[in-house]
Amino acid sequence: MIRRFTSLLTISLIVVLLSGPSTAIACGPFSLDTIFVFTVHPEYPLENFARGNIGTIQPSYARSYLYVAYRYLNGNRFTTEEQKALVELWHDRLDLRWQPNEEPSVKRWMEARNKVSGTAPVTNIEVYRNREKPNEYETYLNCQKDSFETAADTLEARAQKWGGDSAPLKSWVEAQDQVFANCSEGKHIPEPLAPDANALVRADRQYQIAAANFYAGDFDQALAGFQQIAGDPGSPWQNAAPYLIARTFLRKASLGAEDQKAASLTEAEKQLNKIIASSELKTSHENARRLLSLVRLRLHPKDVVHELAVSLSGNKANPKLKQELWDYTILLDQFIGDEPGSESSAKAGELGNDDLTDWLLTFQSEKPEAASHAIERWKATSSVPWLVAALAKVNSDDPSVAALKRAGAAIPATSPAFPSAMFHIVRLNVAAGRSDEARAMLDELLRRDRAHLNASALNSLRHQRMLVANSLDEFLVYAQSVPAGMSWNDDGREIPAEGEDASEGLKSLQGKPLFDDDAAKVLNQKIPLSLLKQAAVSKTLPDHLRRDVAQAAWMRSLILRDEATAAELAPTLKALVPEMAKLLDNFLAAPDWQAKQFAGIYAWLKFPGLEPIVDTGIGRQTPLGEQDSYRDNWWCSAALAAATNNGEDGEKKRAANEVMAPTFLTRAQQANASKEYALLSSLGAAPNYISQQVVAWATRNPSDPRVPEALHLAVNATRYGCTDKQTGKWSKAAYDFLHRRYPNNAWTKRTPYWFKD
């Protein structure tokens, strides 16, 4: 039964026929990521964005968000109902938690139908059907929920009319079973009834036959059947038939022969226009209009994009907002791709003859000419969306920068454009080397206008402020930010993790400041040990971050053989990591540097979480003294960085890994930091370095009681740490030394293998 249609049905049809798919292929293992600035969509709850708290808009946002931003930038608003529709659309798209909509209706039908006595019960109905075309692999939703709802309603009505145990009812149910048997496969057509059968029974059967042909994919037979019903004034299905004829043409266009698609769509359009023009078919008007939108979407996509853009840009409340925005963005995806910057497609040139589409494409464009176009449009329109686009695209050396900055600075703090405009003015100042100007502006913004900024916008500004820090202390203030969200992000959708997903350890970090990627890079690559030591004792950092900095600084001093710094930092580290106290005391008590260095290596073996760098975001979650089950032990990232920087993509990755040095750092400090980082990176996989050090110490001090254990732990590190091609050599060296020199030691017995790599 295919009579009633809802907007959801239209949506589902569009989803089935047109929607942009998920392209992610899952891999792993996955860990919870911190997101400081959302880039795929705005931060949650999305209701805030729908309400106009749009923050700093990102070109990487999906187009449905940029449309909303465009409206707000233009001074337009959305009604409460419209905001609800927007949030629904976003969740429909983001939430891949699949829920088959038809299930309750199928269940309702089966329950009602199984109450009819004398018929074999039905326990399952498959609603999807393969296209059944050679060399095509696709499934489509063949029987939708309305089919089952209409069948259940009809069953109820006929049971009342004919009686629950009557022969005609039983026959009707059996025929209906045949209709639904077509949902998943084959062709099951109920037998026609004799001309002398009861008129209603016969009319129902005719309808069932047409519907069965429809689901079986025999569209010509279905059309003939529905056309006959449309001409039968005695049939209760007469008024529904014209609409079903249109649906059959549409289905034929979707699933029929390629060369008949355009003609079938044209027929569907003609038929739907006829229905809308007929006052007798008033009950079908709403559904016909919805279906006509879908038909026109496919028949005249360019026109529809333009019409939708005009409608979506209007000032009046739009009850069809969700559907129109859905269609509009899907059509744009079809024309120009669903990735930001994909506007290079030749088809993009055919669009953009309305302000909304032009703005969207320009704002997302990565081409250099996007800046000049945005400036030109801003000059022509003086509109805020084009001002924001121009500020976002322009380079600091463009002659229009001064005028753009002046116009941006005039935007009031209460405007939705404020965070974006401020961010880009600061960005342009920083890029032009106007650090003082940028600093003053940022301080003012962060002091006065915090209330107008969401977490992502705040973090974007704090990040800029970090780069123009005047001192180490200032840098440390802005290097720490509270993440805008946490996400498993295993598929790049930045979906915030549910509360129950987070472990207790993670929950304790929620709401606390952490280092973002660039802050960690600055600390690791741009700040020399002499300053890192100061950071480790600075009270500017909260304890959980100071602990990370202190361990990094101590490990760095150990590897760089900076005895004084290592000794100086040991008490700080002891206070922050009390579980290392004994090992650090041994380090301090060691008589000379070589003994100290071995004490340090021994401590490292016992605390696989130690590393000479600070972590980004949540970082390693396993306690410092325990082995991580995903091999994040003994400083994995150095080996990892070396591996990922190799190969043809290495140059690109190295460039992406670069970070600007904060302005307070002198050239000499930067040079020292570079030298130190290069030395650390050259060590390769940490287990190799550790094994080498242990074997060297063991050779010189074989009677040291810690040596057998250290050798055992070194071999263990070559298995559970990140390794490289040299690891086997060092694993074997430690193993051989242990077995040759201490054959009967308990640690030797616990070391039956060495590990190649």
Where along the sequence are the contacts to another protein (CB under 8 A)? 15-16, 20-31, 97-100, 128, 131, 134-141, 339, 488, 498, 501, 629-632, 636, 639-640, 642-644, 646-649, 685, 722-725, 727-728, 756-757
CB 56 within 8 A of CB 508: no
CB of 126 to another protein, least distance (A): 9
Tokens matching residue 750: 């616990």
State in angstroms the smallest separation of the CB of 560 from another protein. Answer: 23
Phi then psi for residue 382, to 5 deg, are 55, 20
Contacts of 428 (CB under 8 A, 6+ apart): 391, 394, 396, 401, 405
Residue 713 structure tokens = 């732990």
Question: How is residue 526 written in tokens?
Answer: 């741009």
CB neighbours of residue 750 within 10 Å: 13
Cα distances (angstroms) measured from residue 449 to each of 423, 430, 455: 12, 20, 13
Name the burial class of residue 473, with classes exposed (0-12), middle (13-18) and buried (19+) by CB atoms within 10 angstroms of its CB. Answer: middle
Are 558 and 603 in contact by the 8 Å Cβ rule? The answer is no
CB of 396 to another protein, least distance (A): 31
Smallest gap from Cβ 240 to another protein, in A, equals: 27
The residue whose two tokens read 């976003």 is 90
User: Residue 29 Cβ, how far from another protein at the closest point, in Å?
Assistant: 6
Beta carbon nearer to another protein, 221 or 487: 487
Tell the burial category of 437 from Cβ atoms under 10 Å away from its Cβ (0-12, 13-18, 19+): middle
> Least Å distance between CB 644 and another protein?
7
Containing 33, the helix (H) or strand (E) segment is strand 33-35
Cis peptide leading into residue 29 (ω within 30°): yes
446/640 with CB nearer another protein: 640
* Least Cβ distance, residue 264 to another protein (angstroms): 17
We find the least distance from the C-beta atom of residue 722 to another protein, in angstroms, to be 5
User: Locate tokens 């295993």: which residue?
Assistant: 490
Nearer Cβ to another protein (31/383):
31
Distance CA 736, CA 48 (A): 63
Q: Which residue number, 254 or 311, has a Cβ lying nearer to another protein?
A: 254
What does the alpha-carbon distance between residue 557 and residue 567 come to, in Å, rounded to a whole number? 9
Structural Rg of the chain based on CA atoms: 34
Q: Which is nearer to another protein, 392 or 520 (CB)?
A: 520
Given the complex with another protein, which of 643 and 659 has the nearer CB atom? 643
136 versus 397: smaller Cβ distance to another protein:
136
In one-letter notation, the amino acid at residue 360 is L
Among residues 379 and 756, whose Cβ is nearest to another protein?
756
Least Å distance, CB 316 to another protein, is 35
Please choose, from the candidates 460, 517, 545, 528, the residue with its C-alpha nearest in 3D space to the C-alpha of residue 659. Answer: 517
Residue closer to another protein by CB (options 165, 339) is 339
